[in-house]
Structure 1
Amino acid sequence: MPPIHDTPILGMTTRPPVTAPVEYGNSASFWVEYPSGLIDVTLSHHLLPGDHWQANGGTVTNGSEKTNGVHADPALGENQVDIPVDGGRTVRIDTSATAIVVIDMQNFFLHPDLRDHPTGLKCVDPLLNIVPPSRKKGIKVLWVNWGLTEHELKTIPPSLVRGFMKSGRGGFGGQLPGKFGRLLMRGEYNSELYGPLQEEYIKGEKAGTDVWIHKNRMSGLWGYQTALDLWLEENGIKTLFFAGVNADQCVLGTLVDAYFRGYNCITLEDAIATTSPEGGLENVLYNAGNGYGFVTDTSRVISALS
């Protein structure tokens, strides 16, 4: 006989649906999963001790509906949307408590004059497609980017400094060719969003739906009270869609830190990319859907929002 834990401890996309509603978490932070595959992360209501569900024509009280003796999931509430995700599940989100986190879609990482990143460039159109309908539904758009100050140049750890240098030269704050300016410093052209994404941000910034957030490490949530962490807390955000580059570096770092902090994490598969060898992206997607949260794509989200 195989060991009793021979299957992956996480492995959420391959698990069969639950046979009865299950609540995970605590009184302040919780999910409710239903046999239909619905996972409600909206914090709208708990399962109560008197609630019950039976596999054959049973019911769940506490706001659920019953039609001809067959259990139906709770009806959608205000600002709630059901998002299909991998593994045959559907995640119910509260759009007023949701943000899209777009990481490092900057000229330094994407501009053809500085780097060959074809898969990263393929993420541009999916982002341009998902951002406008997300804004209409009240979802905030956060553009989280490298943007260093002179002081921060003195506090970055040596391993990170070395990684951004080439043959021991250049690195953070170094002068790039042409109009690109100093590497990943605030206000420089190489630190702007690539091409039409910069224009899209400006449009959203003027409308009050988009926010630019600087970071100074791989993760936008490293350490204590980063700009991103504070903004999310102050604005009551609970659910995060993740997009950007590189998938297995800055996107993954921010995603994992968000998971550790208890955010509901949904990765947009067609809006993340990396320059790493084969396997880098696959590993991120595997763990994003099997442990850190859920995986979907922009087309499924757009369809749900409409």
Structure 2
Amino acid sequence: MSVRPPPPTPVEYGNSSSFWVEYPSGLVDLTRTHRLSPSEAQTGLPPVKASGQADITVNGGRTIRIDTKSSAMVIIDMQNYFLHPEMRDHPTGLQCVDRLMEAVPAMRSLGLKIIWLNWGLTEHELETIPPALIRGFRKNSNGGFGSQLPGNFGRLLMRDALNSELYGPLQDEYIKGRDAETDVWIHKNRMSGLWGYQTALDLFLQENGISTLFFGGVNTDQCVLGTLVDAYFRGYDCVLVEDTTATTSPAGGLENVLYNTVNSYGFVTGTRALLAATA
């Protein structure tokens, strides 16, 4: 994968209210708290990291500086329906569980909100979902959204059904964060959590002043990508945590998302870098 070279001199992107500053050292300041000064433009040296900020290494020879209070981790669809062995075979998705069990506490310790973004349909939404989406989830002769699943898994991707709960230890991890008021659960009814004029996720981000988003979950090239790209279109900073995301698609599906995220949508990092930021 080609790597874009750092700028020869500091560069400020954006406008007076929403801006990044990139330095020749490889630091990209996403905090929106420090405009590029004339002295920094001459020396090329970035300011010292301030309280409430964190530096995280990302792919491509860069380090991003974030304001922790305006950042959140968005974890998408790590639900029983997509991961439980009785529901489907998703070995790479299951591998993400252990990484998330490391990444989530690390991000909390930095002061980030954790957002669990999941399918969770209501009876009314069953009547308003477009036909293409209904057809897409009615594969292998199953009944599609709202249909009864085997055993005690409940109705397909309906709110409060067992198949809609987080898989394995992630459900308890969410409850721990919910009780500590660091984690929130947000329902979605499309592959993207940010489609349309305003969704519950978009409203939460705006109300809490969040501008930088770290992404994990499944499937990388479907619901994760849909939400990430819509976030990019809306002006959020997007960081994909590579080892916390996976897909069932053939080879190339994951790689394509990683390539375009590094080169267009934002940044790619890993759990090890998140843990190092807390050390």
Counterpart selection for 1:42 from 22, 31, 54: 31
| Structure 1 pair 231–52 and aligned structure 2 pair: CA distance change class (3 A) | closer
Counterpart position of 1:235: 208
Per-residue CA deviation, residues 229-277 of structure 1 (Å, 9 max, x unaligned), is 0000000101100000000000000000000011111000001100000
Q: Which one of the candidate residues 103, 119, 127 is aligned to 1:130?
A: 103
Deviations 1:9-37 (A, max 9, x none): xx9x6111111110000111100000100
Contact 1:142 1:211 in 2 (8 A): yes
Aligned residue number for residue 248 of structure 2? 275
- Partner SS state of residue 20, structure 2: strand
**What residue in structure 2 maps to residue 8 of structure 1?**
none
Number of aligned residue pairs:
279
Q: Is residue 264 from structure 1 mapped to residue 253 from structure 2 by the alignment?
A: no
Tell me, in whole angstroms, the C-alpha distance in 1 between the residues paired with 2:269 and 2:105. 18
SS at match of 1:101: strand
| Alignment map for 1:208-223 (pairs within 5 Å) | 208-223=181-196
Question: Scaled by the length of structure 1, what TM-score is found?
Answer: 0.89
Paired residue for 2:127, among 132, 141, 154?
A: 154
What is the CA distance between 1:305 and its match in structure 2?
A: 1.9
Offset at 1:133? 2.1
1:247 aligns with one of 215, 220, 226: 220
* Long gaps (5+) in structure 1: 1-10, 61-71
Q: Counterpart of 1:18?
A: 7
| Mapped contact 1:21–1:33 kept (Cα < 8 A) | yes
Q: Deviations over 1:209-244 (max 9, x none)?
A: 000000000000000110000000000101100000
Q: Residue type of the partner of 2:252?
A: G
Gaps (5+ residues) in structure 2? none
In the alignment, the residues of structure 2 paired with residue 222 and residue 130 of structure 1 have an alpha-carbon distance, to the nearest angstrom, of 26
Cα displacement string for residues 56-101 of structure 1 (whole angstroms, at most 9, x for unaligned residues): xxx25xxxxxxxxxxx421011111111001100000011111000
- CA distance in structure 1 between the aligned counterparts of 2:51 and 2:40, rounded to whole angstroms: 25
1:30 aligns with 2:3: no
For residues 88-125 of structure 1, give each alpha carbon's deviation from its aligned partner in whole angstroms, at most 9, with x where no partner exists. Answer: 00000011111000000000000000100000000000
Aligned partner of 1:117 in structure 2 is 90
Supply the AA of the counterpart residue of 1:294. F
After the TM superposition, which segments of 4 or more aligned residues of structure 1 sit over 4 Å from their partners?
Answer: none
The equivalences for 1:27-106 within 5 A come to: 27-48=16-37, 50-51=38-39, 53-54=41-42, 59=43, 72-106=45-79
Query: Which residue matches 2:261?
Result: 288
Alpha-carbon distance between aligned partners in 1 of 2:26 and 2:142, rounded to the nearest angstrom? 53
How far 1:137 moved relative to its partner?
A: 1.7
- Verify the 8 A CA contact 2:28 2:62 in the aligned structure 1: yes
For 1:242 and 1:212, how far apart are their aligned partners in 2? 15
User: Are 1:123 and 1:273, in contact at CA under 8 Å, matched by a contact in 2?
Assistant: yes
Q: Is the 2:69–2:111 Cα contact (8 Å) retained in structure 1? A: yes
CA shift for structure 1 position 168 = 4.8
Partners of 1:187 and 1:304 in 2: how far apart?
A: 35
